[in-house]
Amino acid sequence: MLGEIFKGLVDLVFPPTCHVCDSFSEQSLCADCFSSLPLIDSPLCRRCGKPCHLAVDECRECRGRKCYFSTARSAGFYEGNLKEATHSFKYGNGRKLAPIFARLMVEKMEKDLGIDLVTYVPLSLSKERRRGYNQARLLALEISDLIGKPCIPALIQIKETVDQSKLSPRERRENVRRAFLSAAGVDIRGRFLLLIDDVFTTGATVNECSRALLAGGAKDVHVLTLARSL
Ligand SMILES: [Zn+2]
Ligand SMILES: [Zn+2]
């Protein structure tokens, strides 16, 4: 009862708002912003999840490239209000968006992947300290609950990387090369892993993480991200 009164008072002074448009909203995303998220629909490249005119096994982007993950899927495009919401989730106080995002991601997951464990792209210690949380871990924890599989910290970052957003595709691959290692004391041998991240741009980061997971004995790695670039 007291808790409800307190919440009522807090809402009066700081009314809950949408993380994208700042309009009054009980939900972290208002109904308008939620319904206009640029979600991804099939047909897709079966491997990297890029939307194509026809479903293909490999598309122009992933053909000829060494892919360590078996499939990658994303909830939506990294543009418009999903880009804004992702930004708020990552750098602002948008942690409450995690359950909404996680549900959208699980809807886009391929069925029957046989996933045993959920894991996530780690942040370097200095970055996590600065930001206060790892957004990929928040998503992974929610997804772990939704699909009923344990979430484990299967990876560590062993090399400091620079912000990928300003780099060319080749520089991105160089930047993250050998940056991750499967974590000691976490047994992933023979397991099917679901690897979670927020944004898939060229796939360089999740590919390096998948390489590390396979080197740690994982049987198979599937990638699921909130957003991907066009
Ligand atoms: Zn809104
Ligand atoms: Zn592809």
Domain CATH for 199: 3.40.50
Integer angstrom CA distances of residue 107 from 15, 73, 102, 144: 30, 10, 9, 14
Both 15 and 84 in a single domain? no
32 within 8 A of 71, measured Cβ to Cβ:
no
Query: Please, what is the angle between helix 169-176 and helix 204-215, to 10°?
Result: 30
Distance CA 182, CA 103 (A): 27
Both 121 and 77 in a single domain? yes
> What pTM, to 2 d.p., does this model score?
0.92
Both 5 and 71 in a single domain? no
Both 47 and 148 in a single domain? yes
CA of 109 to the centre of ligand 1 (A): 25
Both 29 and 124 in a single domain? no
114 within 8 A of 147, measured Cβ to Cβ:
no
Distance CA 122, CA 197 (A): 9
DSSP state letters, 127-185: HHHHHSS-HHHHHHHHHHHHHT--B---EEE-S----GGGS-HHHHHHHHTT-EEEPTT
Both 24 and 56 in a single domain? no
187 within 8 A of 221, measured Cβ to Cβ:
no
| pLDDT tens, position by position, 178-227 | 999 999 999 999 999 999 999 999 999 999 999 999 999 999 999 999 99
Both 108 and 188 in a single domain? yes
Q: Which residue has the tokens 């499939």?
A: 71
Both 90 and 12 in a single domain? no
Both 150 and 198 in a single domain? yes
CA of 97 to the centre of ligand 1 (A): 12
CA of 185 to the centre of ligand 1 (A): 43
Both 104 and 6 in a single domain? no
For residue 126, what pLDDT is reported?
83
Q: Which structural domain range is residue 20 located in?
A: 1-36
pLDDT < 50 regions, the chain: none
Integer angstrom CA distances of residue 20 from 36, 38, 93: 11, 14, 12
89 within 8 A of 52, measured Cβ to Cβ:
no
CA of 107 to the centre of ligand 2 (A): 20
CA angle 196, 206, 48 (to 5 degrees): 90
127 within 8 A of 204, measured Cβ to Cβ:
no
Both 7 and 121 in a single domain? no
Both 13 and 45 in a single domain? no
Count Cβ neighbours within 10 Å for each residue of 143-162 and write b for 16 or more, e otherwise: bbebeebebbebbbbeeebe
Number of domains the chain contains: 2
86: helix, strand or coil: helix
For residue 230, what pLDDT is reported?
78
CA of 6 to the centre of ligand 1 (A): 25
